């Protein structure tokens, strides 16, 4: 029986594991291998020439290659941190609004928020480029009504990255609100009831019951938000091309520019490996942080 199941399992698994091997695992191993090679993306893998850690030295050097890459790495880190720091608390607040039964409209709110998550990022980028337009855009007009001076949004190095974070939050928040709402539904009403009888106010109950019990949901949300954030590409490729003055040059855009458009496959792969290692470190740190604060049942 066991042998028969091994054979059947192989048949069932063959299509998925075959495809994922050829199009995910093999490329991932090749990325690592290529990061130690000098290689033009326009040629076959056989033309790759081993150069040790030279690619890594180059991307962290003070040459223009190094400066651009380090700027992209820092921009990506800032973009990711800002996105996570805004998305997580906002998703809990909106989740509470969707979850509450005091007033009607929760499901309606979820529908509107989640619908934006379905919009292609390229359309989001197009629309926001018009919303942000300093003169013809409605955002500066609205700010003017409430007495806030016009902003330069995407056209100034100080505000460009923030503007893309805002656009990203708008597009993604519905997904994270649904996750937060799912987490909230898992918390037994009896806990709140008991705390209320003991005289705990709504704020106190939020911080002693709701937030600690949302821990796992928030950890999952943070991991997904990080992974999603490093993938930001469309607004940069379409509107800013990494500018002004490298302010929105992020890794997905930069790695593609170096590795595909300039065909510097070795350098691009070293950058991709660095990104992968940074992600592993960031997520490991996140788990360590979550464990140190976990509530003991």
Partner 1 sequence: MTAAAFADTRPLERPHLRVTPGRTALVLLIIVIAVVAAFPLAWMILTSLKTPQETMQVPPVWLPATPSLDAYEKVAGVVNLGRSMFNSAVIALITTAGIVVTSLMAGYAFAKYQFRFRDPLFAILIATMFLPPIVTLIPLYRIVGYLGLNASLAGVVIPNLANAFGIFLMRQFIRGVPDELIEAARVDGASELRVLFQIIAPSVLPAIAALTLFAFVYHWNSYLWPLTVLQGNTDAYPIVISLSRLLSYNRGAMNTGLVMAGATLAVLPPVILFVLLQRFFVDSVVASGVKG
Positions 8 through 37 that interact with partner 1 (CB under 8 A): 8-13, 15-20, 22-28, 30-31, 34
Nearer to partner 1, 34 or 247 (CB): 34
Site string for partner 1, 126-155 (x = CB under 8 A): xxxxxx---xxxx--x--x-----------
- Annotate 111-127 with three-state secondary structure: HHHHHHHCCCHHHHHHH
Out of 53, 57, 227, 281, point to the residue binding partner 1 (CB under 8 A).
Answer: 227
Going from the C-alpha of 11 to that of each of 3, 5, 25, 243, 275, the distances in angstroms are 13, 10, 20, 50, 35
Nearer to partner 1, 57 or 119 (CB): 119
- 103 scored as a contact of partner 1 (CB under 8 A): yes
- 163 scored as a contact of partner 1 (CB under 8 A): no
H or E segment to which residue 242 belongs: none
- 244 scored as a contact of partner 1 (CB under 8 A): no
Site string for partner 1, 56-75 (x = CB under 8 A): --------------------
Nearest to 187 by CA among 202, 203, 206, 200: 206
Q: Which residues contact 168 (CB under 8 A, 6 or more apart)?
A: 79, 83, 229, 232, 235
H or E segment to which residue 224 belongs: helix 215-229
Nearest to 278 by CA among 60, 26, 20: 60
**Interacting positions 183-212 with partner 1 (CB under 8 A):** 183, 186
Q: Which residues contact 246 (CB under 8 A, 6 or more apart)?
A: 68, 71, 72, 75, 157
Structure-token pair, residue 146: 């409430």
- 55 scored as a contact of partner 1 (CB under 8 A): no
Of 81-89, 189-197, 229-237, 287-295, the segment contacting partner 1 by CB under 8 A is 229-237
Name 40's bridge partners. Answer: 264
**What is the smallest separation between the CB atom of 262 and partner 1, expressed in angstroms?**
11
Beta carbons of 138 and 209 less than 8 angstroms apart: no
**What is the smallest separation between the CB atom of 273 and partner 1, expressed in angstroms?**
8
Out of 56, 60, 114, 206, point to the residue binding partner 1 (CB under 8 A).
Answer: 114
Of 52-60, 79-87, 116-124, 151-159, the segment contacting partner 1 by CB under 8 A is 116-124
Name 50's bridge partners. Answer: 37
- 278 scored as a contact of partner 1 (CB under 8 A): no
């Amino acid at each position: 029986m066991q042998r028969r199941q091994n054979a059947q399992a192989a048949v069932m698994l063959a299509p998925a594991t075959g495809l994922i091997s050829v199009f995910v695992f093999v490329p991932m191993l090749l990325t690592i291998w290529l990061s130690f090679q000098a290689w033009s993306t326009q040629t076959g893998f056989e033309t790759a020439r081993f150069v040790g850690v030279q690619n890594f030295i180059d991307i962290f050097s003070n040459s223009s290659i190094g400066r651009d890459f380090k700027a992209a790495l820092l921009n990506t880190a800032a973009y990711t941190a800002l996105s996570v720091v805004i998305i997580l608390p906002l998703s809990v607040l909106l989740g509470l609004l969707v979850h509450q039964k005091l007033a009607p409209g929760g499901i309606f709110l979820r529908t509107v928020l989640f619908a934006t998550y379905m919009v292609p990022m390229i359309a989001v980028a197009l629309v926001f480029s018009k919303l942000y337009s300093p003169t013809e855009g409605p955002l500066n007009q609205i700010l003017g009504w409430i007495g806030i001076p016009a902003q330069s949004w995407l056209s100034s190095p100080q505000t460009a990255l923030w503007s893309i974070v805002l656009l990203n939050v708008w597009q993604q928040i519905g997904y994270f609100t649904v996750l937060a709402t799912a987490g909230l539904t898992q918390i037994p009403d009896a806990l709140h009831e008991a705390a209320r009888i003991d005289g705990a106010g709504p704020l106190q109950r939020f911080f002693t019951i709701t937030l600690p019990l949302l821990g796992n949901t928030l950890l999952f949300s943070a991991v997904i938000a990080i992974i999603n954030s490093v993938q930001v590409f469309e607004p940069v490729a379409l509107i800013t091309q990494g500018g002004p003055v490298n302010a929105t040059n992020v890794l997905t855009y930069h790695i593609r520019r170096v590795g595909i458009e300039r065909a510097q496959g070795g350098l691009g792969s070293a950058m991709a490996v660095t990104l992968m290692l940074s992600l592993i470190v960031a997520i490991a740190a996140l788990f360590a942080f979550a464990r140190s604060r976990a509530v003991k049942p």
